[in-house]
Structure 1
């Protein structure tokens, strides 16, 4: 079928000459399919950095150039360049890895990444503080266990998420296989990665090197996720493209399709805002890859390539209308989506502790505060990986499931957990178990305030307020980021804070407990004392006036502490 005929503004999309678009589009188009001068930059020994254009191209290879901001000023005084290192993000669809892969990640983390691993909010690993001269060794080490960092960053389809419900073993395996297929399908096909990092020779091709992405790839990042109700652990409404499994009686029939979610925004820029995805219909499971192609093609062809601040898919939907977008997707599919099927979400958290799946296997979910694997936790997980015969699963909440444990093997796993103190990780308050933070300082170049290093302390102070009102067991989602970009999906937290300056944050209240509603800013650019004072008032009234079963975020709206945000485009009203 042909594209939908409607008069729309095409002055900012791929139909225009490169010189009329943003500079990043010219950079991508002239990069020789992401090769650029990366190899030469890696060979340059006079600096720990790479040239500016290659910094951008290396994101497509899963790498971010960063520096240690804790010592930036001191190095400037000493007339030294910043302490440059790189963050390497692994591509790990659905967060599933084997014990041998865990052991390799542990080895690389100890050798090149400051004796730590970071579990992310998109179910993968980040290796921070990797020096330029160690990048190839790191990436080749990942290759040894069939892992890589391809397209973990950049203007492409990022790592694909998938629910990690261990109770539904058969259904999870089926949906996970489809999520992995989507990841493999959407990965860029350029040989640049193999040539630069593995030292392979360039292969001449008879056709285009990137049949889907072309020379300019996507306008911005594109995020895909698969979710299995009733758990919304992946926050499906925060994805550009979400697949909601419809599986009555545990039998997968297909997916409801949700499009147009995204968290990022910019302070003092009202044209930017978070947005929750809209469900536009249902499709059979065997049509999933066709839907991926069609939706990505629409964003590729019509997304804003002039203003990167408005380049995400969510803004195209706001600008052109959901009906037009859906019709354009269906035109490319060659068939109409069926009406969406009923489904229900009840939580977006993780089932902490031990559970048994329908196949009889045991699973233990460990709370890993803010995803930081370090010290005795890192040692203990290495010891478990040496004896474990199942899998590990990184959750979308930065926690870790030791999965697929045979019942007879559980005592050995429990023994190691006790030896290293891992059995104490889950003995945290309900608030702490539902907390999540991005890395922020000192390595993230975008951070304006602390996040990972500060949230545990702030949670401790909020815990005292909750305990004073006998609410220490009340599950409340709290999320913090060091900037407004939203990596920890703050705009759907019941309580959320985004950094504005050192020690200053915006405070948001009223998000939906299972990710179904955006929150609303109630305080802007304030410090800890003001934040705690406001939370003390809300929590105190919540303790007195909540309705039976009422969630904290719902109460904050009903009691008038926060206005309800019904659509993302009204987030800044």
Structure 2
């Protein structure tokens, strides 16, 4: 194992306290588990964060959570709060409900784990009931194809969790320093074996990387491990137990995670060639199912090191796209996934949680070194990537044929919030026809297994609740996303979910004013903080909250989510969004290439040119209020012709020309 110096001596980068077959004694292994920066601080040595120590002392996520859940207080303490995440829940404070002198309005958000976004009819109805009985009468569809149930009180947690478990759901692995929900295309196609395989693989990898200690059942079912009707694939069980190359902790209740689990959250997405409905490159690991012409799976292309999270004004944190790792054969996928997890577990930073995601390890090492370390845990070489077609974003909205005689219907859910008439109408048709559903990574929902004879009744019911068909959606709304942000997210510094619908309307109005066609659109995403939960750094236009009613503007992502955006402007107040966007959109309209998207245009033209253009841009409504300047008729005619040629207004070109002349 690679050596790094810390605590004044040379030692393996990671020494978890669980036993591994590597010759170290238990006494040696009780030092620390911490990977240090490439240049460790000289004034004081790196040491584990408080969360790392808490995890190790928790008896595999049991204490002090179990003790805190039975107190009379409406909240749990910091230690229990950290452990609660591993069980699929965050403690929150509803800032809208705070009263003067009353302190925080504590509540809990519960998140489910739904590999590939698949939800049985039974679980859908259960979640709908829980939202009304114990939540805030809404359900949130997340960007990772899961549910979030908000506003659960501490006293109701055990009832809510146990109800989910007993109705074939789970929250285990939805949060915390473990593998999170595994994404896959929400394709309902029964006659496309590659899509069917991707969904099954998502379920298998979720099982492979799920915590194993049983603490989850101790906390929520008093130790009764509820037996579901779906047993994990035998190969998952077999490959998890395999320890030929040191991926496992022998004899540990957590064979892959050990007592300290992972340094931070870990995200996996699976797709098929060409389908980027899952934002593949934003994940710690992206898996592409590679099939032959007969539709038989041959193996998988792998990418690693993607991630969106960053911290405001901290240049050492950044969004990153995944790099190509290579190709592995079909039978090796579980082994290589364990190898990647083990590399991150043993070498990921544990002294600084802001630097603990896999993307920082890949960035520091480079993909070649990372591949070499993974191969040591894998036990064989990873082959070069296989060729792929261009990527395309698919939203799976509207009517689709499943390929088995039945239909599926993708329903648009603005920002993923199921509430009011929409929630009631969906409940009605899902219950009436016993439909399962699929949650998409774009916060929408797909009704599946629909007999053609049911189509008319389903449409009438949904239209009566105000559900818009795909053809009636504004194309900006159709691809936009927002995180929940205020009032419940503790990290939010600005609005997101509650603001984006109005901002989309304002963007459309601005585009209409500038003469864009009604169908013109681009990908808009918004978050209330830099954490990037709605993946704004992949958007053509991203809004990232950086203060009360204030946002950073990010530009340059691609329509198919394969290129990172960059920050264009800081601290744009919500009332000034049109002022900031109008020069960009006007320049785009005047100078774009045929069929060019906004993100591609801004990436091609460059931010220096955009900013220069914006500096001298004169809005149509502002020209009448500015000082007047008389010009000779021939000069004006020349100016008018030059402005038309350059795609600028006369006022814009005049300001630019005079500014340049006066500054020389």
Same fold (TM over 0.5): yes
Q: Aligned in 2, Cα 1:562/1:238: closer, same or farther, shift over 3 Å?
A: farther
Does residue 159 (structure 1) correspond to residue 218 (structure 2)? The answer is: no
Give the counterpart of 1:391 among 433, 436, 448: 436
The structure 2 residue matched to 1:473, chosen from 510, 519, 524, is 519
Tell me the distance in 2 between the aligned counterparts of 1:172 and 1:309: 35
Residue 530 of structure 2, aligned match among 476, 484, 488: 484
- The equivalent residue for 2:258 is 214
Contact 1:169-1:357 at 8 Å conserved across structures: no
2:208 pairs with 1:198: no
Residues 123-145 of structure 1: CA deviation (Å, up to 9, x unaligned): 00000000001111111111221
Q: How far is 1:48 from its partner?
A: 0.5
Contact 2:409 2:448 in 1 (8 A): yes
> Equivalent of 2:131, from 109, 122, 126?
109
Which is higher, the Rg of structure 1 or of structure 2? 2
Within 5 Å, give how 1:85-124 maps onto structure 2.
85-124=107-146
Unaligned regions of 5+ residues in structure 1, if any? 565-573
Structure 2 counterpart of 1:506, from 552, 557, 561: 552
State the partner residue of 2:157: 135
Structure 2, unmatched stretches of 5+, are 16-30, 34-45, 227-249, 611-664
Match of 2:93 in 1: 67
For the pair 1:26 / 2:53, whether they are aligned, the reply is: yes
Partner Cα separation in structure 1 for residue 172 and residue 555 of structure 2: 36
| Counterpart secondary structure, 2:426 | helix
Aligned counterparts, 1:84-483, within 5 A: 84-167=106-189, 169-200=192-223, 207-249=251-293, 250-424=295-469, 427-468=472-513, 469-483=515-529
How many angstroms apart in 2 are the aligned matches of 1:71 and 1:476? 36
1:97-133 CA-partner distances (Å, limit 9, x unpaired)? 1122111110001111110000000000000000001
> Does the residue aligned with 2:544 lie in a helix, a strand or coil?
strand
The 2-side partners of 1:444 and 1:11 are apart by 40
Q: Which moved more, 1:498-507 or 1:459-468?
A: 459-468
CA apart distance, 1:253: 2.2
Q: Give the deviation of 1:417 after TM superposition.
A: 2.0
Contact 1:8 1:320 in 2 (8 A): no
- The offset of 1:419, in angstroms, is 3.4
- 1:83 to 1:326, Cα distance in 2 relative to 1, 3 A: same
More deviation in 413-422 or 367-376?
413-422
Q: Counterpart in 2 of 1:17? A: 32
**Cα deviations by residue, 1:332-370 (Å, 9 ceiling, x for unpaired):** 111111211111344324032112233333111111000
User: What residue in structure 2 maps to residue 569 of structure 1?
Assistant: none
How far apart in 2 are the matches of 1:310 and 1:412?
52
CA drift at 1:440: 0.3
| TM-fit CA distance, 1:502 | 0.9
Deviation of the 1:7 alpha carbon: 7.2
What is the CA deviation profile of residues 506-548 of structure 1, one whole-angstrom value per residue up to 9, with x for unaligned ones? 0000001111110010101121243322322222222222212
Counterparts in 2 of 1:32 and 1:420: CA distance versus 1, 3 Å: same
* Shift >6 Å, 4+ stretches: 6-12
Q: Please state whether the residue corresponding to 2:520 is helix, strand or coil.
A: coil
C-alpha spacing 1:21/1:541, structure 2 compared with 1 (3 Å): same
* Whole-angstrom CA distance in 2 between matches of 1:385 and 1:398: 18
Q: TM-score, normalised by structure 1?
A: 0.92
- Change in Cα spacing, 1:346 to 1:321, as seen in structure 2 (3 Å) is closer
Question: Contact conserved, 1:507 with 1:531, CA < 8 A, in 2?
Answer: no
Inter-CA distance 169–17: structure 2 relative to 1 (3 Å threshold)? same
Displacement of 1:265 in angstroms is: 0.5
State the 1:562 CA deviation. 6.9
Q: 1:327 to 1:386 in 2, by over 3 A?
A: same
Q: Give the Å deviation of 1:11.
A: 8.0
- The CA deviation at 1:197 is 0.6
**How far off its partner does 1:36 sit?**
1.0
Contact preservation (8 Å) 2:494, 2:545: yes
Number of matched pairs: 554
Following superposition, the deviation at residue 425 of structure 1 comes to: 7.3
Q: What's the CA shift for 1:201?
A: 6.1
Q: Is the 8 A contact 1:366 1:426 kept in 2?
A: no
Aligned to 1:548: 594
Partner of 1:571: none
CA distance in 2, matches of 1:530, 1:505: 10
Give yes or no for the alignment of 1:533 onto 2:579: yes
For 2:296 and 2:414, the matched residues in 1 are separated by 34
Of 51, 66, 69, 1:42 maps to 69
Cα deviation per residue 1:381-413 (whole Å; 9 max; x = unaligned)? 100111234420100000111123232332332
Whether the 8 Å CA contact 2:263–2:345 is kept in 1: the answer is yes
Secondary structure at 2:593 match in 1: coil
Structure showing greater relative contact order (alpha-carbon pairs closer than 8 Å, 6 or more residues apart): 1
